[in-house]
Structure 1
Amino acid sequence: MKIMVVESPNKVKSLSAILGDDWKVMASSGHIRDLPKKELGISLPGFELHYELMPGLDGKPHTSGKARVDRIRLHLSDAEMVYLATDPDREGEAIAWHLKDALGLRESDYQRVTFGSIEPAAVSDALRKVRKIDMDSVYAQEGRRALDRLVGYLVSPVLSDMAGMNLSAGRVQSVALRLIVDRERAIRAFRVTNHFGAVVVFDGGAWSAKWDTSPFVSEDEPYVMDEPLAARAAGCKAFRVETADVKHSKENPPSPFDTALLLQAASVKLKMGAAETMKAAQALFEGPPGAEHGVITYHRTDSVNFSEESLAEIRAYAQAAGLPVADKPRKWKESEDAQAGHQAIRPTDLAVEEAGETEAQRSLYRLIRERAIASQLAEAQYCNTVVRLVGVSEGTEFTFVAKGRVMTAAGWRTLTRIDAADEGDGKDDETGAVPALPVGSGKQADSGEISKLKTAAPARYTEASLVKKLKADGIGRPATYSAIINTIQQRNYVALEKRAYVPTPIGEMLVDGLVKAGFGFVELGFTRDMEARLDLIAKGQAQYRDVVSAAHAQLQQELIGVTLNTDLKPAHSCPNCNAPLRRLQRPGKATIWFCTGEATCKTFMDDENGKPVARKSYPCPKCSTPLRRFKRKKGPGYGWVCPSTSGCETFLDDHNGKPLALHACPKCSRPLRRYPKKNADGKLTGLHGWFCTGGDECKTHMEDVNGKPVEIRTAPCPKCDRLMHRRMGQYGWYWGCSGYRDGCKTMMADEGGKPVPKRSGSGSGKPRTGQGRGGGGAKSGSTRSKPK
């Protein structure tokens, strides 16, 4: 038996069907090991990474890294060979190495195999090209992890101290965030300039010409601000044709999809986010459960070219479909850092027109298929006409330009009208079907009008334009684009407004802190250079330790510079030990400030308008020692306790963040205790009551009104003469008979503290559904929760 280990469980059935009964296909379910969560996990100065098996998800032991490794190990004794078939990228290479190491495989025990698509031909071809793990790629991936870890763990605390709140610096995410912040500030600084142009119309509106303002502007004054001048230009009627150029042009189809282009196209055309796109692409790559193969090739790629076999297949399919095929196979120039061996994203079977289990998957598949076929079609051909016309108005000569383009052969546009990854609106500077007028001939305009124009601010980054910018600047790689964008969104550093990114105040604060402190990794050039260095590691042209140690040394110098810079002080310092204070905002809880200094300094402060203020102190009513508020271990809410060591042991309940005053039992003078009421199902009702702490000696119970005990009033029941009790329910006060256990279900409304018959249709006194007979009082059948 042979064992093949893949990353995703969704691939198991497809590969099992392809490989046959002599194989056992198993899944690692992604990463099995990771760096520790609560410590750096890197040894200095050697920069060795310390991995640990991943814990189970949500307390499920069977999902842990150890459990997943153990399941694979159970079958090793029966295996003649183990094939590590994790994904064909650096991250997949690293996962293969972790599996080899965790399983204790020797070099003779395993083979590394990769395939760009899950289909019989691709799998068979991959098994003919087995190899060993590419440690250079593993080191490159480890270099990325080490650098990300160093920045996150060493810079984030300094940045948080400067800001006074928890902020997280990311080696690449911070650069993407800075792009968004810088763009937003350019938009804010932008000032609209109103200016003028002119347009004249010919041949009943069939075409028009625009005023060429270049003779009337300069470098210092680039726009026409003179409206009367524009009016004179628009007033031109008689024109002389100065030039008329007719040229033929060709337009090549857009390249196939790499990861960045796929993310852009899905965002622009399908309105899908990066995470949703990659999830759908992953499902298409793996294929539906039980399928014999996936429906697209590997989707994490920086290549825009196909293999020779794929090119031949696409061209043959297009030709059979009657589409105009290019004279020879099309290839595009690759970026210098594109990973060798990968190809662009394409369907595994072009004959399959529809694929995917969800609408998102189906839409994405159609986009990929259309793009792959279009890439090998003929050029679209055009006849372009540019005419320059000169007119005179009030003695001034004005030149107008008309541009026209007519498609003479659709070519690739037979299949798709536009480049789906282009965010343009499809408009250009064309002015209609412009005729090729004889030079020197005259032409009369139908009409003319002033164009009131204004300059436009830079556009905010959309997901598509941000990915395009990251790729153009060499920031990140195919496997990281989605994670970069998701991280800055999840940490609330940016928000989406009309599908465009806007930095939040926290995001701007983070960028300002990094720039002010002078950290190099937030600069585009530094990050681009670091990505190039990681590529050199993968190519075996640089050493992991040299690259990481140099980056660490620079980071250390920058951190020292921060400590020496007197202008970079913590936003707020502890009044007791002078260490930085940190703001902690918890969902549903009061915002507080805490000291980040030594463990012996346990200073906490309240928040007031985003600044720390001294905590409000409440003295113990017995010994005057300041009370301490605590979270109940059992039951909901908080309580207050006297921390005095003199044996005071005063306990007070909490109401809206303040200790409730001591209340004595009206019968025995012992302290009363407030408790939350529960309904018959044991669920909290949101109401409270009071009970005497005298135990069995005194069973006094009282109602609660605004945190104070109120005596339970009684009156005789008009049906059974037992006592009726006045209770506080969900809808206010009501009266209920204490003999309900013996069958008396009498309930009455409350009016002025006295029982009155319930009015028809009135909700007065209506008890909470399921609350029990008496509105939650301890003596009326509800369950009470006594605090300890």
Structure 2
Amino acid sequence: MANLVILESPSKAATVKGYLGSNYKVVASKGHVRDLPKSTLGVDIENSFEPRYINIRGRGDLIKELRREAKKAKKVFLMTDPDREGEAIAWHLANALNIPVEKALRAPINEVTKTAVKAAVKSPRKIDMDLVNAQQTRRILDRIVGYKLSPYLWKSVRSGLSAGRVQSVATRMIVDRERERDAFVPVEYWTIEADLISAEGKPFRAKFWGIDGEAVSLGTKEEADAVLESCKNGDFIVSSVKKAKKQKHPAPPFTTSSLLVEASRKLGFQSQRIMKTAQELYEGIDLGAEMGGAHGLITYMRTDSTRISEQAAETAKKLITEQFGEEYLPDSQRSFKSDAGAQDAHEAIRPADPGIAPDRIKARLTLDQYKLYKLIWNRFIASQMASALLDTVSADIVNGENIFRASGYTIAFKGYMSVYEDSEPEEDKSSKPSDEKMAKTLIPELAEDDKLGLKDLIPAQHFTEPPARYTEATLINRFKELGIGRPSTYTPTITTIISRGYVEREGKSLKPTSLGFTTTELMEKNFNDIVDYKFTANMEEELDDIENGKRDMNDVLGAFYAGFSRDLEKAAANIEIDKVEAEPQLTDIICDKCGSRMIVKTGRYGRFAACPNYPTCKNTKPITPEGDIQKPQPAPDGMKCDECGSPMVVRSGRWGSFYACSRYPECKFTKRIDRGIGVKCPDCDGEIVIRRSKNRRTFYGCSNYPECEFVSYSLPTNEKCPDCGSMLLLQKGKKSKLVCRNKDCGYSREDNLPEIDIKSGEKPEADDGSDE
């Protein structure tokens, strides 16, 4: 009798399957199996906020299959993710599979490695109900806010809008920044730089600092001209030279927020792309037979901890010694203090096996995977290295009463900077620049009383600039500063406020739409707590307290709802007064049917361009987040049109994506996009792909058709028949079974679950204003 191991992700399950022997059957739940119903509130507020969970539509058969497998299994291990969400999935699975919660075996892993998996099944624990209740509280809060507030927005602004507990405050943050920009008054200031020549004839540059020992800011041209005039007759003399050695320490390994910020700055990735790629690296990548198959390459990517294991630190120490030498090791092992309020439940984001260097496996990774893994690997190794040593110099140069200052540094010992260069944060140009920032500049050898030559004096006019709009990176930093959201919510929150039309992208910046302004103003007037920074941060702390067993779930929900329900009653009384019309957001797209300038509309699946003359003209077009027409993507591998030889592109139609000639409508050639299932054709070197017959029935064929005519209505698998070695096919039904493709063989066996190495399925997304 085998043990059953259940994970949420098919790809993660495929990796884990390779680590466990024949005594374990590994399957995937494909995310949540139960959730609150979409059509009703699903929370009995009068009965202690009791949630009413139902099986997610389309998961009924999967749940039945899992129940059958659980009934047959010796033990059932719930190996879902090691956070609140993963704990809740495990709890829901135990309930759905009729496993008593107190007897359920929880085996979470922080990294998908053989060592971690073996340790987890060897020492399982009980389901942590404090973690589950923290997740349930967040889910119920988000459901109440989404379901109670959204109808108010429908009546006040327009139908189809949604409100969310964290998404509303995130929208307000972007609106507030725009208000700051609108109210900003530029301030003029001047700088003067002197191009000087040292006593040894070497050129360098110094900047005007002040007069007679006092720092002076030049606010007008007249003030700058007065300094320039006073500099004409005097000599430039070195009054003091300060030299020092300064240590620059490495940053800690990544947390979710620091990874999102740094990957945005260094790689130019948006947060959704970063988390998707990190998920792939965590769940496992096939590194080939020579490296033992699939490996999880990084630790769990939703964390606010900077802590690392002793074993990882020792591996890093060994690598640093071998590659750089002992002088690149710090005096003692580095440890980093996590920020106040961090849950610290998991390690930092680091390579699961630091011995697997990025370049060693580059050929096995996509470009995004390689870039992100290299960033994570470099940052982790650097965090365990010696500090860099800088030689700094600062020289004051006097001209009469005027003081100029030259400063800079050179790197005496690179230390951790041999592996990792810190990125520079976005500069704040809303105030005059500080003189404290030291440039990486070589200052020539100077001594006190040296007389310097003057080559030129360069005055320059400047104006302070309004605070920069948030980028994804700076918004996530602001979330963290204010304590709003947690690692698991940063990316979904940004994605939601863009997809629902409250915020739009302008280059890398995030800008509120007129709809974002309108809804924020209504929320501030009627539901100020929901968009209050401090209130939202306090709610996050209360969720942390529930997780840590310090607060009761119902007490937190009751206290929130008492104030929220009062606000709802007041808002209902003012609904006609508050009714507003959001100004249509114009695009630069001209309707090709009637010539009008199209406007941005928000539908169930996000934003699109629509003709303003609806219903007379019903023309619509897909648009990018920036509001441009969504251009067809080039087909892969330089695919050419079979009829005219022009490049092919990917287009979307009623039945999904397909290849089409780029010269459409002159050439109307199209070709279907074949989706592979990760199985090689048994008759040639092709891939098995999913196809549909004329009557829309699914079957499986070879990608080399018509040269190869392999076809099957049963699902091909990677398993071989134990009797004759032919491919096994999965025949689905009430009692699914694996059968040998070789009809002369006759081998078959029961198999109630789909093969876990066929990658499909994602976690379902709630569509009720939830921020989860």
By the TM > 0.5 criterion, same fold? Answer: yes
CA distance in 1, matches of 2:483, 2:519: 22
Query: Residue 522 of structure 2 corresponds to which residue in structure 1?
Result: 513
Cα displacement (A) at 1:165: 4.5
Partner of 1:79: 73
Tell me the CA shift for residue 569 of structure 1.
2.8
Which whole-Å deviations, capped at 9, do the CAs of 1:419-459 have from their partners, x for residues lacking one? 2484469x954383224633344333332121222212211
1:226 counterpart SS class: helix
- 2: CA distance between counterparts of 1:247 and 1:217? 23
Note the alpha carbon deviations across 1:32-54, whole angstroms, 9 max, x for none.
Answer: 11111121111012111111111
In structure 2, the CA distance between the partners of 1:318 and 1:91, relative to structure 1 (3 Å rule), is same
Q: Secondary structure at the match of 1:446?
A: strand
Q: How far off is 1:217 after superposition?
A: 9.9
Q: Does 1:400 align with 2:394?
A: no
> Is residue 285–residue 298 contact of structure 1 (8 Å, CA) maintained in 2?
yes
Cα pair distance change 1:191/1:214, threshold 3 Å: farther
1:278 to 275, 280, 284: 275
Which residue pairs with 2:255 in the alignment?
A: 258
Picking from 326, 329, 335, the partner of 1:331 is: 335
- Map residues 405-484 of structure 1 onto 2, 5 A cutoff: 405-416=409-420, 418-420=421-423, 422-423=425-426, 428-430=437-439, 432-435=441-444, 437-484=446-493
What displacement does 1:508 show? 1.3
Partner of 1:345: 349
Task: Please state how far the C-alpha of 1:308 moved relative to its aligned partner.
Answer: 1.3
Amino acid corresponding to residue 63 of structure 2 in structure 1: V
| TM superposition shift of 1:115 | 1.1
Measured after TM superposition, the shift of residue 160 of structure 1 is: 2.9
User: Could you tell me which amino acid in structure 2 is paired with residue 384 of structure 1?
Assistant: T
Read off the aligned partner of 1:467 and give its amino acid letter.
Answer: I
Q: Distance in 2 between matches of 1:190 and 1:165?
A: 34
Q: Distance in 1 between matches of 2:272 and 2:304?
A: 18
Q: Is the contact between residue 235 and residue 448 of structure 1 (CA under 8 Å) also seen in structure 2? A: no
Q: Which moved more, 1:302-311 or 1:443-452?
A: 443-452
* Other-structure match for 2:714: none
Q: 2:92 aligns with which of 75, 82, 98?
A: 98
Query: Against the structure 1 CA distance between its residues 516 and 181, is the aligned structure 2 distance closer, same or farther, given a 3 Å change threshold?
Result: same
Measure, in 2, the Cα distance between the counterparts of 1:233 and 1:160.
67
Deviation per CA, 1:703-733: give whole Å up to 9, x if none.
xxxxxxxxxxxxxxxxxxxxxxxxxxx99xx
Instruction: For residue 180 of structure 1, report the CA deviation from its aligned partner.
Output: 1.1
* C-alpha distance in 1 between matches for 2:216 and 2:177: 24
Tell me which amino acid in the other structure corresponds to 2:558: S
Distance 1:312 1:608 in 2: 63
Q: Normalised by the size of structure 1, how large is the TM-score? A: 0.68
Residue 47 of structure 1 is matched in structure 2 by 49
Relative CO higher for 1 or 2, CA cutoff 8 Å, sep ≥ 6?
A: 2
State whether residues 212 and 403 of structure 2, in contact with CA within 8 Å, keep that contact through their aligned partners in structure 1.
Answer: no
The 2-side partners of 1:243 and 1:518 are apart by 59
Equivalent-residue separation in structure 1 for 2:132 and 2:221 (angstroms): 59
Alpha-carbon contact 2:231-2:402 (below 8 Å) kept: no
The residue matched to 1:445 in structure 2 has which SS? strand
Report what 1:635 is aligned to: none
Q: In 1, Cα distance between the equivalents of 2:612 and 2:114?
A: 64
Matches of 1:421 and 1:70 in 2, distance apart? 53
What's the secondary structure of 2:134's corresponding residue?
Answer: helix
Instruction: Tell me, yes or no, if the aligned pair for 1:199 and 1:449 is still in contact at 8 Å.
Output: yes
Aligned residues: 583
| Alpha carbons 1:217, 1:224 under 8 Å: kept | no
Query: Match of 2:498?
Result: 489
SS in 2 for 1:132: coil
Aligned to 1:548: 557
What is the identity percentage for the equivalent residue pairs of Structure 1 and Structure 2? 34
Question: Relative to structure 1, is the Cα distance of residues 23 and 214 closer, same or farther in structure 2, using a 3 angstrom cutoff?
Answer: farther
Q: Kindly provide the amino acid, as one letter, of the partner of residue 300 in structure 1.
A: R
Larger Rg over CA atoms? 1
SS at match of 2:37: coil
2:143 alignment partner, one of 138, 149, 159: 149
Residue by residue over 1:114-172, the C-alpha shift from the partner in whole angstroms, topping out at 9 and shown as x without a partner, is 11111111122223431100000111001111111111111122233222454211111
- Give the CA deviation at 1:247: 1.4
Separation in 2 of the partners of 1:421 and 1:77?
A: 56
Q: TM-score, normalised by structure 2?
A: 0.70
Matched residue, 1:167: 161
Residues 413 and 555 (structure 1 numbering): CA distance in 2 closer, same or farther, change over 3 Å?
same
The 3 A distance-change label for structure 1 pair 224 and 129 is farther
Q: 1:300 to 1:370 in 2, by over 3 A?
A: same
SS at match of 2:457: strand
Letter in 2 for 1:371: R
Q: Which of 205, 208, 231 is residue 208 of structure 1 equivalent to?
A: 205
Cα–Cα, structure 1 residues 435 and 569, in superposed 2: closer, same or farther, change >3 Å?
A: same
- Separation of aligned partners in 2, 1:347 and 1:334: 19
Amino acid at match of 1:34: D
Match of 1:371 in 2: 379
Pairwise CA distance, 1:513: 1.3
Residues 1:430 and 1:53: Cα distance change in structure 2 (over 3 Å): same
Instruction: Give per-residue Cα distances to partners, 1:331-362, cap 9 Å, x unaligned.
Output: 11112332244001111222322345321111
What's the CA shift string for 1:346-382, capped at 9, x where partnerless?
Answer: 1122232234532111111111111111111111111
SS of corresponding position for 1:522: coil
Local SS of the residue matching 1:452 = strand
Is residue 246–residue 436 contact of structure 1 (8 Å, CA) maintained in 2?
no
More off after superposition, 376-385 vs 350-359: 350-359
Q: SS of the counterpart of 2:240? A: strand
Residue 530 of structure 1 aligns to which amino acid in structure 2? M
Could you say what secondary structure the match of 1:146 adopts? Answer: helix
Distance in 2 of aligned mates of 1:17 and 1:310: 23
CA distance in 2, matches of 1:369, 1:227: 50
Shift of 1:401: 1.1
Unaligned residue ranges in structure 1 (runs of 5+): 56-63, 573-580, 592-606, 617-630, 632-683, 685-729, 732-788
Secondary structure of the corresponding residue to residue 126 of structure 1: helix
Task: Summarize the alignment of residues 288-327 of structure 1 with structure 2, pairs less than 5 Å apart.
Answer: 288=285, 291-322=293-324, 324-327=328-331
Does 497-506 or 428-437 show the bigger shift?
Answer: 428-437
Distance in 1 separating the partners of 2:472 and 2:424? 11
| 1:194-273 aligned within 5 A | 194-203=188-197, 206-213=203-210, 226-232=223-229, 235=232, 238-273=235-270
The one-character-per-residue Cα deviations of 1:520-563 (angstroms, maximum 9, x if unpaired) are 12011011110000000000000000111111111112222324
1:7 has 2:14 as partner? no
C-alpha distance in 2 between matches for 1:233 and 1:547: 68
Distance in 1 (CA, whole Å) between partners of 2:216 and 2:514 is 37
Q: In the superposition, relative to structure 1, how do residues 293 and 499 fare at CA in structure 2: closer, same or farther (>3 Å)? A: same
| 1:479 CA drift (Å) | 0.9
SS of the aligned residue for 2:278 comes to helix
Q: Which amino acid aligns with 2:382?
A: A
Q: What is the 5 A alignment of 1:567-606?
A: 568-571=577-580
Which of residues 505, 513, 516 in structure 2 aligns to 1:504? 513
Preserved CA contact (<8 Å) 1:160 1:582? no
Shift of 1:233: 5.6
Change in 2 beyond 3 A, CA 1:117/1:293 = same
| Alignment deviations for residues 647-686 of structure 1 (CA, whole Å, 9 cap, x no partner) | xxxxxxxxxxxxxxxxxxxxxxxxxxxxxxxxxxxxx9xx
What letter matches 2:422 in structure 1?
A: D
The amino acid across from 1:5 in the alignment is I
Cα distance 1:293–1:566, how it changes in 2: closer, same or farther (>3 A)?
Answer: closer
In the other structure, the counterpart of 1:139 is 133
Give secondary structure in 2 for the equivalent of 1:466. Answer: helix
1:120 pairs with one of 103, 110, 114: 114
